[in-house]
Amino acid sequence: MRSYWPAVLVPPATGSAISPQAHGARGRAAVLGTSFDSTGAERLSPRGTLAGYLAHKVVEHFGGQYANMELVYAIETTPLGTGGAIRQALRLCKTDHVFVLNGDTYLDLEADEIENRWQDHHNPIIVAREIPDTSRYGRLRTDHATIVGFSDKGHQGPGLINAGCYVLPKPILEETGCGESFSLEADWLPRAVMQRRFDVFVSRGLFIDIGIPRIMREPRRC
């Protein structure tokens, strides 16, 4: 097994989700640094780091090397949506699969176990987390170890949510039929899980939605 796995980090689309923390290099770095430092970053090597809003701040702070990891930036010149931007970053990667991480989510990720799951089956993987109340997030619908669909927000009670981490084969977004700009979660994933198998990995790690200022200031454990 390799020591490092390539990863794409997806920062928040705008600063509004993490304002006012995001409006300076230190604040922006704090959000990105959470993902780099705390989600198995010693084993994940961000080959394609997406940057749109305040891209220059991200590049200035991290440069081309961070914590022994090579950083390569895929910078949007026009809005591509999460799906289009991730597709752009995947083209920079040199391996057959890539970890994709949402930059506004803290997840103490079991990277070794997830990599083993990929090596066993070579199916795309959505990482899930069980939480006490899914009403803010929507739910994943699963059949054993497979994703079969998504439920909208509003369903109260415990359940599985999309934890904002994926393992994707490098070419998977090249023939989406979604055009140049599209949302990964709204436009592509609901159709994609109907067309091919997506495995689910249920993380046991600490999950914090750091995209919400109140939660970022007062972390809640799930």
Q: Which fold has domain 5-217?
A: Spore Coat Polysaccharide Biosynthesis Protein SpsA; Chain A (3.90.550)
In the chain, domain spans: 5-217
Highest-pLDDT range among 2-6, 97-101, 109-113, 192-196: 192-196
196 burial via Cβ count (<10 Å: 0-12, 13-18, 19+): exposed
- pLDDT, tens digit, 9 for 90 and up, residues 62-110: 788 877 778 888 888 888 888 998 998 899 888 899 999 887 788 889 9
- pLDDT, tens digit, 9 for 90 and up, residues 130-167: 999 999 899 999 998 999 999 999 889 999 999 999 99
